[in-house]
Amino acid sequence: MIGEPEAVAPGAPGATAGRPLVVRSRGELAAVLARAPRPLGLVPTMGWLHAGHRSLIARARAESATVAVSIFVNPRQFGSPTDLDRYPRNEARDLAICAEEGVDLVWAPGVDDVYPAGFDTAVRVGAVGRPLEGAARPGHFEGVATVVAILLGLVRPERAYFGMKDAQQLRVIARMATDLALATVVPCPTVREPDGLAMSSRNVHLSPTERAAAAVLHRALQAGRARRDAGELDAEAIRAAVRAALAAEPLADVEYVSLADDASLAELERVDGPALLSLAVRFGSTRLIDNVTL
Amino acid sequence: MIGEPEAVAPGAPGATAGRPLVVRSRGELAAVLARAPRPLGLVPTMGWLHAGHRSLIARARAESATVAVSIFVNPRQFGSPTDLDRYPRNEARDLAICAEEGVDLVWAPGVDDVYPAGFDTAVRVGAVGRPLEGAARPGHFEGVATVVAILLGLVRPERAYFGMKDAQQLRVIARMATDLALATVVPCPTVREPDGLAMSSRNVHLSPTERAAAAVLHRALQAGRARRDAGELDAEAIRAAVRAALAAEPLADVEYVSLADDASLAELERVDGPALLSLAVRFGSTRLIDNVTL
């Protein structure tokens, strides 16, 4: 349902203490966007909003006349139905957070509003999507690139905001959005818990013991950074320092530790330019990723 | 270069007797689009404009405040460099035709304006792009879908106009544009020479003898339609009638004759709904396609 436009007061950053306008269908969205002040900033999310999302919204609020948040758990980017079913959802809480952060418009479509009848199009990004998460989760980035292309096509924001915690996703989306001329992608710093754990919707699945153990991710990345800061240029020595730090935590089941070129994500032998140090580690059935740039 | 906006007079259908504004780069295009009256109709072309393009422009002119024509010979949709080099070009003549037809804006980018540095994104349409031209020209429709997605992303027209002569291309583009929420695709009837040959930029390559022989394509399609109108429901009998008509012309080297479901393009056994009768035939080194809907 479309509320009264007067209730939204878009265009006045920070001035909207009321609830955001919530729309569901493509048609409602088009009608609302036709009267939305520009520039428009979009924060695409899968819901279960946390402090990381709040920081994206705050950045969008500072730069936009209208701030839109999309909430859509995209079935096409999950490798298994179990992983999809397990993804946490709480729309009422998400809407309250959006209201607190001064969001003007929340777009919370159903699957049929995102994927029209007969949907049969895929958007694929090449080299930067192949290693790391691309290798570990076949089809994942095609699902991500496709749904973000749809969201950007429907909302047509000037800028879209993504967090650096999902470093490879950020690069895949930025490549796609530049190549298809859809929007400017704004990378935003990872927000962390006091013990360094990166904010993630998946953290909710950690048991208290696993949650405590997961702090090792940031410690391990910092150990790698310290080696680099001490003058180490051999990439494998830095990866080994990260793996050694992870090995101190018995609950950490390491999937990969990568030190790659920051732009191409090709694994490095020698660190002689901007580099991305990243890892994927399982704690029980919960798979977490994190990264730092060197 | 950007001309004076006063020289364009967009918004007044038929009122623009002057030259259209010609822009080359992404940046110039964005500046011009920011002040273009809406709705905007785009006619994407590869240049060498003919009466078929004129009919697309006229339809766009009738429905739009601003009419844009893009002229871009897309290297990524040609199977061989020879075919690309052979594609006819004459920008001065194209611009004169655009002026005659009241076009407001011609976008004639270079390859680097369409494909930014590091370009690495592909848009792929599934089932409807696989048979017929998709099978005959591997990679062709991925090249087409990708470049049209870019053009629609950059120009952001309300409507884009495509001819029915390229029947499968039309279906691929309409699927993509709907799925990625980029624009409404408007199909426009094929324009034909007096002897029935469909207008095509490729016709310029036909020798006078081949040109005369090529009239068999429309006669053959009409023979198929006549069989259907006479009550024939067996698809193979209708295809056979088309092939028999083509066989009467010794210069016609038949690649395929298809009678397929009009929406899915799956080959039919029985004609019990809307169907597309299409063919691809070579005359010397020139490959022509044509179709009628039954």
pLDDT digits (tens, 9 = 90+) for B75-111: 988 888 888 888 888 999 999 999 999 999 999 999 9
Say yes or no: A207 and A183 in one domain: no
The verdict on residue A91 lying in a domain is: yes
Contact between A124 and B122 using a beta-carbon 8 Å cutoff? yes
pLDDT digits (tens, 9 = 90+) for A90-100: 999 999 999 99
The verdict on residue B141 lying in a domain is: yes
Say yes or no: A141 and A50 in one domain: yes
The verdict on residue A259 lying in a domain is: yes
Identify the active-site residue in A50, A53, A140, A218: A53
Contact between A179 and B150 using a beta-carbon 8 Å cutoff? yes
Strands A253-261 and A275-283: antiparallel
- Closest-CA distance, B64 to chain A, in angstroms, reads 17
pLDDT digits (tens, 9 = 90+) for B221-271: 999 999 999 999 999 999 999 999 999 999 999 999 999 999 999 999 999
For residue B294, pLDDT beyond 80: yes
Domain closes at, from A162, A188, A214: A188
Mean pLDDT of chain B: 93
Contact between B124 and A122 using a beta-carbon 8 Å cutoff? yes
The verdict on residue B144 lying in a domain is: yes
Indicate the pLDDT class of residue B9, thresholds 50, 70 and 90.
Answer: very low
Domain of B97, CATH number, reads 3.40.50.620
Strands A184-188 and A159-163: parallel
Say yes or no: A84 and A153 in one domain: yes
Say yes or no: A164 and A18 in one domain: yes
pLDDT digits (tens, 9 = 90+) for A172-217: 999 999 999 999 999 999 999 999 999 999 999 999 999 999 999 9
Minimum Cα–Cα distance from A264: chain B residue: B118
For residue A144, pLDDT beyond 60: yes
Helix axes B140-155, B167-179, angle to 10 degrees: 50
Distance CA A29, CA A106 (A): 10
Say yes or no: B36 and B166 in one domain: yes
Minimum Cα–Cα distance from A27: chain B residue: B181
The verdict on residue A194 lying in a domain is: no
- Closest-CA distance, B26 to chain A, in angstroms, reads 9
Output the CA–CA distances (angstroms, integers) from residue B10 to A34, A135, B4, B23, B148, in the order listed. Answer: 21, 50, 12, 15, 24
Contact between A150 and B26 using a beta-carbon 8 Å cutoff? no
Indicate the pLDDT class of residue B17, thresholds 50, 70 and 90.
Answer: low
Say yes or no: A74 and A114 in one domain: yes
**Comparing A81-90, A143-152, A269-278, which segment has the lowest mean pLDDT?**
A81-90
Say yes or no: A157 and A243 in one domain: no
Q: Which of B217, B193, B218, B216 is nearest to B204 (CA)?
A: B193
Say yes or no: B177 and B67 in one domain: yes
Distance CA B6, CA A279 (A): 57
Say yes or no: A15 and A128 in one domain: yes
For residue B28, pLDDT beyond 90: yes
Mean pLDDT of chain A: 93
Q: Count the domains in chain A.
A: 2
Average pLDDT over residues A56-71: 98
The verdict on residue B195 lying in a domain is: no
For residue B185, pLDDT beyond 80: yes
Q: What is the pLDDT of residue A79?
A: 82
Q: Which of A189, A188, A185, A218 is nearest to A203 (CA)?
A: A218
Which structural domain range is residue A48 located in? 5-188
Domain of B286, CATH number, reads 3.30.1300.10
Domain closes at, from B141, B161, B188: B188
Q: What's CA A205's distance to the chain center, in Å?
A: 18
* Residue among B38, B120, B178 with most chain A CBs within 10 A, to mutate: B120
Residues of B in contact with A128 (CB under 8 A): 120
For residue A6, pLDDT beyond 90: no
Burial (Cβ within 10 Å: 0-12, 13-18, ≥19) of residue B172: buried
Say yes or no: A211 and A183 in one domain: no
For residue A16, pLDDT beyond 80: no
Share of chain B above pLDDT 90, in %: 88
The verdict on residue A193 lying in a domain is: no
Domain closes at, from B188, B210, B236: B188
Residues of B in contact with A156 (CB under 8 A): 156
CA dihedral A71, A119, B290, B93 (to 10 degrees): 10
Query: Which residue in A120, A127, A154 is closest to B120 by CB distance?
Result: A127
pTM value is 0.92
Output the CA–CA distances (angstroms, integers) from residue A118 to A55, A73, B79, B184, in the order listed. Answer: 37, 20, 28, 16
Q: What is the pLDDT of residue A17?
A: 56
DSSP lists the bridge partners of residue A107 as A23, A70
Distance CA A153, CA A147 (A): 10
The verdict on residue A117 lying in a domain is: yes
Say yes or no: B174 and B210 in one domain: no
For residue A1, pLDDT beyond 50: no
For residue A277, pLDDT beyond 80: yes
Distance CA B292, CA B275 (A): 9
Say yes or no: A10 and A106 in one domain: yes
Distance CA A89, CA A95 (A): 12
Contact between B125 and A121 using a beta-carbon 8 Å cutoff? yes
Cite the beta strand spans of chain A per DSSP E: 21-23, 40-45, 66-71, 105-107, 121-125, 159-163, 184-188, 253-261, 275-283, 286-293
Radius of gyration of chain B (CA): 20
Average pLDDT over residues A221-246: 98
Omega prior to A39 cis, within 30 of 0: yes
Predicted ipTM beyond 0.85: yes
Q: What is the pLDDT of residue A15?
A: 41
